[in-house]
Copies of this chain bind each other. A is one copy, B any other.
Amino acid sequence: MAPSIAKRDSPAEADRASRPSADPTRDRILDAALDLFSERSFDGATTREIAQRAGVTQPLLNYHYRSKDDLWRAAVDSLFVTLRQTMADRLEGLRGVDPLTSAKLRVREFITFSARNPQLHRIITQECKSDGPRMDYLVEHHVRPLYESTIELFEHLARDGAVPPIAPAHLYYILTGAGPTMFVLGPECERLTGLDPHSDEVITAHADAVCMLLFGEWP
């Protein structure tokens, strides 16, 4: 069905097609793909439009990536790499800090990232609404590790009474729902509330609000 052998004739094909990065052209393609896939969904985004936004021609996408599906996977991978790197950098400066403070900062960092990269949850909600090969890839490669480390964090916090007695699975969907939705629906939010979901003030206020609810800091 899906031969693992390269379908083109040049020898280095298998290496090039949809493997690593570090090429400015490939990066521009991935960024454009991420924007359009997340806004318009997999089917709604056309390869021609992605190419146009990246400033290249459409056949170049099939040169660098075997197929539209392959391009999608590469774009998703790069986004999650950025997420993991950002979170890791943040945690780096938190050695020795007490667990509760560390957890609060993790939540804030997650919300800030979701606000600056709404593509993350846009793509997740697009693909995970129905079972399919792309949801499978997304969950097994990227979402599950995130889920499990979050569950572990909540279990720790619950034992200390730092967080309400709510099953971790529910807390996970409350956090991943309450945190990013305002920014996922950025254009709607702007129209509806007049707030600018890109501004630091609004992002901070939202993180404050979620932390207040989650960690119960109101008399």
Residues of A within 8 A of B (CB): 38-44, 118, 122, 124-126, 128-131, 135, 139, 143-144, 147, 164-167, 169-182, 184-189, 191-193, 195, 205-206, 209-210, 212-214, 216, 218
Contact = CB atoms under 8 A, between A and B. Distances in A.
Contacts of A135: 187-188, 191
Nearest to A148: B192
Contacts of A193: 147, 169, 172
For A184, A188, A193, A216, the residue with the greatest tally of chain B CB atoms inside 10 Å of its CB is A188
Contacts of A38: 129
A41 B39 contact: no
Q: Is the interface of A mostly helix, strand, loop or mixed?
A: helix
Contact of A129 (B39, B128, B205): B39
Nearest to A188: B128
Given A173-B185, A178-B174, A181-B173, A40 B40 contact: no
For A130, A171, A177, the residue with the greatest tally of chain B CB atoms inside 10 Å of its CB is A177
B206 A131 contact: no
A21 B212 CA distance: 46
For A39, A124, A193, A205, the residue with the greatest tally of chain B CB atoms inside 10 Å of its CB is A193
A143 B177 contact: no
Nearest to A146: B192
A167 B218 CA distance: 14
A165 B126 contact: no
Contact of A170 (B39, B44, B206): B206
B40 A192 contact: no
A185 B126 CA distance: 9
B205 A144 contact: no
Given A181-B176, A185-B124, A205 B43 contact: no
B177 A180 contact: yes
